[in-house]
Amino acid sequence: MSGIEDAKPLVEISQQDGVMTITICRPQMRNAVNPATARALYAAFLRFEADETAQMAVLTGEGGYFCSGFDLKAAGAGGSDEWLASLDLEADWRDPVVDPRPGPMGPSRLMLSKPVIAAIEGPAVAGGMELAAWCDIRVMAEDAFAGVYCRRWGVPLIDGGTVRLPRILGQGRANDLILTGRTLPAEEAYRMGFADRLAPSGEALDMAQALAQDLTRFPQACMRADHLSTRMPSQHLAEALRREWRSAKAFVQEGRTGAQRFAEGLGRSGDFSQI
């Protein structure tokens, strides 16, 4: 990591008129999330939840990239081992509302009382797609794309992707994306229900912030009550996330080697012919 990156915040927070915007700031890594960034994202969303003046949040990424997933260069070199080892879920963990826990990508195990909108430019792939699925509404630029790209590297979905994608898309469409790891262009994402709004290229953040601002006009207690009721009960979410976390051992078996292949240059620019 360069001194320039060390000096710059990994996550930036701004707030205007009840809308908190949380931005991943590692554009040189296509906003891949390393352990320090995951911790910063988790803290940012706890701050949002606790801030009575923030009614809505928007999650986005700097430089035309939403998030390219977990930082495989760090993972391949063993730089994420301590972080991942700290994330085990006890068998009696039952409620992400009263007992919040971080996920590998940061906020992915949180169940917030207030809505979060994803503003997606460029890639929302692997763990980045899981972060987008964690959000309540997704605004995608027309040239953005998603995909379970971690399929190519032996890295399992452990940030709620196996829990949330079937609920958003239906089991069959989720199976297609999860098993094949194929690219999901924005237009198809909109047709199948992953993207809720399409924006012109470069305008996803503006559209997401405008939508968030519009939602602040409603009576908030009523909206939050409906928001809570439409989601999986927290104890069921905790059970599903505990079950998914068992897949983390697959990273030890296969993902470390895959991450090292990625770090060596395979699979860049969407070329997976050598995988």
Amino acid 99 reads D
pTM over 0.75: yes
Whether pLDDT at 5 is above 90: no
pLDDT of residue 77: 74
pLDDT, average across residues 199-221 = 98
When pLDDT is cut at 50, 70 and 90, the band that residue 266 belongs to is low
- H-type alpha helices, 66-154: 72-76, 81-85, 127-134
For 3-203+213-270, CATH number out of 3.90.226.10, 1.10.1040.10, 3.30.420.40, 3.40.50.280 equals 3.90.226.10
Share of the chain above pLDDT 70, in %: 88
The edge-to-edge listing of strands for the beta sheet with 19-24 is 11-16, 19-24, 56-61, 116-120, 137-141, 197-199
Could you tell me the two tokens for 76? 């391949």
Whether pLDDT at 6 is above 60: no
Share of the chain above pLDDT 90, in %: 81
When pLDDT is cut at 50, 70 and 90, the band that residue 1 belongs to is very low
Among 126, 117, 121, smallest CA distance to 142 is for 121
**pLDDT tens, residue by residue, 65-79:** 999 999 988 777 777
